[in-house]
Amino acid sequence: MKIDVVLTPRLLPPNSGDAICVVIDVLRATTTVITALASGALEVHPFPTSTAARRGAESAGNIPFLLGGERKGLRIPGFHLGNSPLEYLDSGQISGRAIYFSTTNGTPALHRAFQSSNRPVYLGALVNLSAVSLAVAHAAMNNALRSIFLVCAGRHGKPSLEDLYCTGLLAQKLCSEFAASEMSPELSDTTLLATEYAGINRDKPLAMLTASEHGRYLQEIGFAADLEFASQIDKYDIVPRFDGERIIISS
Neighbours of 130 (CB within 10 A): 16
Is 101 in a helix, a strand, or coil? strand
When the beta carbons of 31 and 172 are compared against ligand MLT, the nearer one is 31
When the beta carbons of 67 and 140 are compared against ligand MLT, the nearer one is 67
When the beta carbons of 6 and 175 are compared against ligand MLT, the nearer one is 6
Neighbours of 51 (CB within 10 A): 10
Q: Are strands 186-187 and 2-6 parallel, antiparallel or unpaired?
A: parallel
Residue 55 belongs to what H/E stretch?
A: helix 50-57
The distance of closest approach from Cβ of residue 181 to ligand MLT in the complex, given in angstroms and rounded to an integer, is 34
Which of 8, 83, 147, 195 binds ligand MLT (CB under 6 A)? It is 83
Q: Is 153 in contact with 27 (CB distance < 8 Å)?
A: no
When the beta carbons of 127 and 218 are compared against ligand MLT, the nearer one is 218
Q: Are strands 240-242 and 186-187 parallel, antiparallel or unpaired?
A: unpaired
**Is residue 120 near ligand MLT by the rule CB under 6 A?**
no
The distance of closest approach from Cβ of residue 205 to ligand MLT in the complex, given in angstroms and rounded to an integer, is 17
Q: How far apart are CA 41 and CA 12, in angstroms?
A: 29
Which of 27, 76, 99, 150 binds ligand MLT (CB under 6 A)? It is 27
**Is residue 104 near ligand MLT by the rule CB under 6 A?**
yes
Binding site for ligand MLT (CB under 6 A): 25, 27-29, 70, 73, 83, 103-106, 153, 218
